[in-house]
Structure 1
Amino acid sequence: MPSLHPKTIEAIRTYENDLLANWRAGLESTGAARGVGEELLHRETNQMLMLLVEASQNGDTSNIGSATWEKIRQFLEQVSRSRALQGFDSQHTATFVFSLKQALFALIQREFASDPLLLTEQVWMISELVDALGMHTVRTFQKSREDVIKRQQEELLELSTPVVKLWDGILALPMIGTLDSQRTQVVMESLLQKIVDTGSEVAIIDITGVPTVDTLVAQHLLKTVTAIRLMGADCIISGVRPQIAQTIVHLGLDLQGVITKSNLADALALALKRAGLRVVPAAD
């Protein structure tokens, strides 16, 4: 089981302050410390070096996936997630780990100057160890960025499908852009939840802002209409322009039983009529 030489670990402990100073200087020179507060940088470098020494005493340096390295893995995952949320890139985050090499190499060269074979062995082991920790950091950073992007996409989908209360018991959902499976799911969930929360009996889906309607889009609309009906509410699709009507006919899509209107105003008038209401001019 390859592990760092006891003399290497002792040297790191003895010259800890010098090692940390050289590491931070390297971070400053590469720009990896830019945007990170001085207090936070000192805390992170101190903690990582402490965890590195702790794991190196009994840990196999060629297997950072073992339980011995769990604490330092968790620490690096925390750093990666923090950097990702702050908007740093993967290179900036990886450099935080990789820049430790230069400081460690300088220390090891001084300690093992009289033993070239042991020097080479320790330099190689440290290089592989830091590389493995750095790659773990990059992988965690990429996953964190993917999670951030996914969450932002979900938030954008929610913002792009606002459910508007037009009147007591009447909801409207203006659609803008193309419909796909993911967006249809968000639309269905938010609209059905709003129907439950408000006790609405009529839902209007306005597709004025939908550029084209193909077979897939029509299927998504039909699924949404079916789900609304299962909730005990009626659904009206508005914004059916002549081009969209022709496309639906040419595609041979069956929208029988689905109430459609050319614009939102007509759909609202129909919804009010179903609710036993009508709009009249105000008295002079």
Structure 2
Amino acid sequence: MHVRSRLMLVIENVEDDLLKDWVKEQLAAPMLRRELMSETELRDQSRTFLKLFRGVPSKDGLLSTDGSEWAKVKEFVSDISRSRAKQGFSPSETATFIFSLRLPLFRMLRSELTREPDQLFGELENAAAILDKLGLYSTEVYQKSREEIINRQQQEMLEVSTPVIRLWEGILALPLIGTLDSRRTQIAMEVLLQEIVVTGADVAIIDITGVPMVDTLVAQHLLKTVAATRLMGAECIISGIRPQIAQTMVHLSIDLGKVATKATLADAFLLALRRRSSSTSADDKSSSLFNQNSARGE
């Protein structure tokens, strides 16, 4: 049989008054973001929290919020923190939801236990410890949620910043802008390969005009993309090789192997058109020869 703690019994007895004082405390806070949350929503969240809080059944291990009896309370705090992280609240504004309960709760405890000073002191300690832990927990959840949001936004920005353009039938262009790293190169490679599969392109132009610097690491990333493209049956042309980049690559002994390079995207496009034209002519001759041999029964 569960033993109700004195703290929870007090909260249950004065819940309506405590809710009123707590909401008043939150509404009076200078950091309240009224444009992000209505008073009705704030009151509903506070009421739900108090209901879950006072429902924690066991006195044993009350100060430790890691037990299963605190699961529903922590789940609700997590939902609040994640929601406020998405809405644009700051960490302090989010944690204030829990910490602002301290003074109203302390006042209610003093009022209810004024004739039991020893009991009062103990329950004040309990309340402070629990709210501190839940407040810190809300901050941890908020921080994790913000990191997830930022990572997702960065991923979306990387995908948007690596568009594959169809320049001509069978010719694609991948303009790269900004610094290249392993993660961004991987995304660019995946986007390019997927587009090659969809369009059946046989020439891909990787334009690095907007890449500020090419070092050994960047060159390795480019070579990996070129190799993967070739495995998909397409040839690569790298454009945007400026004089400064050419000098740097020579100085670093970077060898792009047999990869065709051009100074501008326009030059690379002309080369791609010539290659496609030659390839088409060769295919037509092969097809004609095959048809002739078939007609002869060879």
RMSD: 1.7
Distance 1:27 1:59, change over 3 A: farther
Partner of 1:84: 85
Distance change (3 Å), C-alpha of 1:198 and 1:235: same
Query: Which residue of structure 1 aligns with residue 289 of structure 2?
Result: none
Residue 61 of structure 1 and its aligned partner are, at CA, apart by 2.1
Alpha-carbon distance between aligned partners in 1 of 2:154 and 2:271, rounded to the nearest angstrom = 35
Instruction: Name the SS for the 2:208 alignment partner.
Output: strand
SS state at 2:226 partner: helix
For 1:61 and 1:185, the matched residues in 2 are separated by 49
Structure 1: distance between partners of 2:191 and 2:47: 47
**Corresponding letter in the other structure for 1:12:** I
Distance 1:89 1:4, change over 3 A: farther
Provide closer, same or farther for how the CA distance between residues 6 and 69 of structure 1 changes in structure 2, counting only shifts above 3 A. Answer: closer
Contact 1:208 1:240 in 2 (8 A): yes
Query: 1:247 aligned to 2:248?
Result: yes
Q: For residue 22 of structure 2, what is the amino acid of its counterpart?
A: W
Q: Contact 2:7/2:127 (CA < 8 Å) preserved in 1?
A: no
Does the 8 Å contact 1:169/1:202 carry over to 2?
Answer: yes
TM-score by length of 1: 0.92
Paired residues for 1:47-126 under 5 Å: 47-57=48-58, 60-126=61-127
Structure 1 Cα separation of the partners of residues 137 and 231 of structure 2: 48
Q: Which residue does 1:170 correspond to in 2? A: 171
The match for 1:13 is 12
Alpha-carbon deviations, 1:61-107, whole Å to 9, x = none? 22211111111111111111100001110000000001111111011
C-alpha distance in 2, partners of 1:230/1:59?
Answer: 64
Q: Which amino acid aligns with 2:224?
A: K
Q: State the TM-score, normalizing by the size of structure 2.
A: 0.88
Amino acid aligned to 1:159: V
Q: How far apart, in 2, do the equivalents of 1:122 and 1:28 lie?
A: 26
Change (3 A) 1:80 1:46: same
Q: How many residues are paired up?
A: 275
Kindly state the Cα deviation for residue 57 of structure 1 after the two structures are TM-superposed: 4.3
Shift of residue 58, structure 1, vs aligned partner: 5.1
After superposition, the Cα gap between the structure-2 partners of 1:235 and 1:168, relative to the gap in structure 1 and judged at 3 Å, is same
Q: Is residue 29 from structure 1 mapped to residue 28 from structure 2 by the alignment?
A: yes
CA distance in 1, matches of 2:144, 2:3: 30
C-alpha distance in structure 2 between counterparts of 1:47 and 1:32, whole Å: 22
Distance between the aligned counterparts of 1:266 and 1:4, measured in 2?
A: 82
Task: State the AA in 2 paired with 1:28.
Answer: L
Q: What is the CA–CA distance in structure 2 between the aligned matches of 1:50 and 1:92, rounded to whole Å?
A: 22
The CA distance in 1 between the partners of 2:149 and 2:133, in whole Å, is 24
Secondary structure of the residue that 1:218 maps to in structure 2? Answer: helix
SS at match of 1:255: coil
Question: Residues 47, 32 of structure 1: CA spacing in aligned structure 2 closer, same or farther, 3 A cutoff?
Answer: farther
Contact 2:8 2:55 in 1 (8 A): no
Give me the identity figure in percent.
49
* Structure 2: 5+ residue stretches without partners: 279-298
In 1: Cα distance, 2:214 partner to 2:21 partner? 62
Equivalent position SS for 1:182: helix
Give per-residue Cα distances to partners, 1:219-275, cap 9 Å, x unaligned: 111111111111111111001111111111111112111111111111111111222
Describe the SS at the equivalent of 1:276.
helix
